[in-house]
Chains A and B, each alone.
Chain A
Amino acid sequence: MSLNRRSFLGTGLALGAALSAPSALGQARPRVVIVGGGAGGATAARYIAKDSGGAIDVVLIEPGKTYYTCFFSNLYLGGFRDLASIAHDYGRLASQYGINVIHDLAVDIDREARSVALASGHALGYDRLIVSPGIDFVDGAVPGWDLTVQNRMPHAWKAGSQTQLLKAQIEAMREGGVFCMVAPPDPYRCPPGPYERISMVAHVLKERNPTAKILIVDPKEKFSKQALFEEGWGRHYPGMIERIGPDFGAANVEVRPDSMEVVIDGTPETVDVCNVIPAQKAGHIAGIAGLANDSGFCPIVPGTMQSRIDENIYILGDATIAGDMPKSAFSANSQAKVAAMQVRAALIGARAFPAKYSNTCWSLIDTGDGVKVGASYQAAEDKIAKVDGFVSQTGEDAALRKATFEESLGWYAGITADIFG
């Protein structure tokens, strides 16, 4: 039997929420709890609520009341967006979709009892759980750096106050100073992100502080859109940007925040602003709940986004080992729609179709010079596999690059409406 959303309209609401305990399928209104209100979690919440017409009790747990998107936060650093334009709240998810938004922090998951413990002391039962916790940093990944020194050396890899701080430091940098980025090893959130950030910092410095230098200390041999970025840096910011790769010791780096030094393979360099983006792992709660493996990330079933460790739990976005898919908001949003469909199928018998995944990443190199890379993915037996893709080409004309940038603005408006309603 296939139940569509119309047959549930009204009836679900009339049943009311069973707040104390999770319901068995077919009795009271089943409950989905979603941990994390970013591109994965908020999308999943919205799609389950929207397409189940009240038949599922959707609870979203997110500590922050304002969500600053990491995507486009580099454009804020570059002066192309203001902070308010990348800020989103959860008001419409509550008012228009009936989602129960709880501003609290999930601190534990009891998988046996199907219950999530919150920092406030409350516990929430669930029929299905969606975990979309984003990333955390690996302890000791960059010797000398930890969260206690993040104001001396900001990461700004979770958008908000850190991004504001980094922008202020860039703008206050002494004339002719050095901006240094310690880039992360694979895998990490947003593969082209560090290099778009370099472009945006260079854009600001070219205007305000043209004798300043940019140093990238990068443990990776290669990086995403490398040919496009390097061509763009040569054209827009000649002589400003230097990248040190692993061949010259960048895999062996430590920082000394007190003296603002970066030690590359034993040789200290004094810098003026230092953006440390450490190695990453799945958000902390995934580890607490035993959903991550030795890699620090969470294995998933390619066709459903279910945890390989617990079939009642779905995991989304940067926290997952999503095969060939990069860690991006676009990927998380794409995965969330598959999980939302599967959860509706499991709880209210909605139809489930074969999963389709996709991703596109736009990056801005300088005013009106946008590039993109994207791919489509499908569930293979053992992983989500890339089947097709495209990337902007070097030497493209200015009109195409401008159109690509304008397209990214349309995408931002589209995806944030798709995530937050």
Chain B
Amino acid sequence: MREELSLVLALALGGAGAGRAETHVEAIGDPVRGAEIWVYCSGCHEIGPEAQASIGPPLTGLFGRRAATVAGFPYSRSMQRAGQDGLTWTFETLDAYLENPVVLVSGTRMSFPGLEDAGERADLLAFLRQYSDKPSNIPEAAPTARAGDPELSEATLALAGDPGWGEYLSSECTTCHQRDGSDQGIPSITLWPERKFVLAMHAYKQHLRPHPVMQMMAGRLSDEEIAALAAYFGALGL
């Protein structure tokens, strides 16, 4: 615990100066432009509800699928090995594969030189994503957007939180953590000293503390939002 917090502190103080952390969300890419890029793929791959194996495997339901798992498709040994090792198709792995296939899977049979342009890859991925599970129906499905990624600034720990903002943000916490401080299966977060609160939230954000719900919740809070929450919870009931 002490080591974790010291490490966060070191990271926070040592971090390069970053701009103001804004909370925002952006589309993965443009699926309409992606549909135009799809012509590079459609000679060998099919996609959609009726898609079948062709020269390449069907790409319906690709996101979240373990590599080399379309039954009966004659994958390269290299791709089979990658699947056995745990390669699962996500935005990150597909982006790497599309950039240069042999870097990710050296013996792949896919004879495609790769898409250099990150924007084109994002558009193609946005197009492909439409043919996988929708999150609202299967909550564990892949994201359809990405969050802006705030970085730690040197001034993070010195930020004065806005308790009014913290009050709104706190409503997300109190779905699980009880405002009166009771502690049943989920710990109390009221009346923590502000500094300790800020350190703990950054420790979740940087995945130093292990809990997946908290890593996710803290992961999308900007430095200002963490400071606002700390100010609000620190003063609650005083």
Contact = CB atoms under 8 A, between A and B. Distances in A.
Q: B136, B144, B145: which has the most chain A beta carbons within 10 Å?
A: B136
Interface in B1-55: 23-27
B202 interface: no
A323 B141 CA distance: 13
Contacts of A324: 134-136, 143-144
Given A222-B138, A376-B217, A386-B144, 13 more contacts: A325-B135, A326-B137, A358-B175, A358-B216, A375-B216, A379-B25, A386-B141, A390-B213, A390-B216, A391-B139, A410-B186, A414-B174, A418-B174
Interface in B181-238: 182-186, 212-213, 215-217, 219-220
B140 interface: yes
A415 B27 contact: no
Nearest to B173: A414
Contact of A388 (B133, B183, B219): B219
Nearest to B164: A351
B147 A411 contact: no
B216 to A, nearest CB: 5
A388 B140 contact: no
Contacts of B133: 222
B178 to A, nearest CB: 5
The bracket for how many chain A residues form the interface is: 35 or more
20 contacts: A51-B167, A186-B134, A191-B137, A191-B138, A191-B139, A224-B139, A326-B137, A341-B168, A351-B165, A351-B168, A359-B139, A361-B139, A376-B147, A376-B219, A378-B145, A378-B147, A385-B143, A388-B147, A410-B186, A417-B178
Given A378-B147, A386-B145, A334 B176 contact: no
Q: A334, A356, A415: which has the most chain B beta carbons within 10 Å?
A: A356
Contacts of B117: none
B66 to A, nearest CB: 11
A34 to B, nearest CB: 17
Contacts of A378: 23-25, 145, 147, 220
A10 interface: no
A333 B135 contact: no
A415 B176 CA distance: 6
A354 interface: yes
A219 B233 CA distance: 46
Contacts of A389: 135, 139-140, 143, 216
B146 interface: yes
B22 to A, nearest CB: 9
Nearest to A228: B140
A167 interface: no
Contact of B140 (A186, A322, A333, A391): A391
The bracket for how many chain B residues form the interface is: 35 or more
Contacts of B136: 186-187, 191, 322-327
B25 A380 contact: yes
Contacts of A257: none
Interface string A223-244: 1110000000000000000000
Given A378-B25, A390-B216, A410 B184 contact: yes
Main secondary structure of the interface of A (DSSP, over half): mixed
A187 B186 CA distance: 30
B92 interface: no
Given A333-B175, A391-B140, A418-B175, A376 B220 contact: yes
Contact of A4 (B23, B164, B216, B220): B164
Contact of B146 (A191, A387, A414, A415): A387
Interface string B154-181: 0000000000110111011011111110
Interface string A328-343: 0010011001000100
A408 B137 contact: no
A353 B169 contact: yes
A407 interface: yes
Interface string A298-332: 00000000000000000000000011111100100
Interface string A370-409: 0011111011110001111111000000000000001111
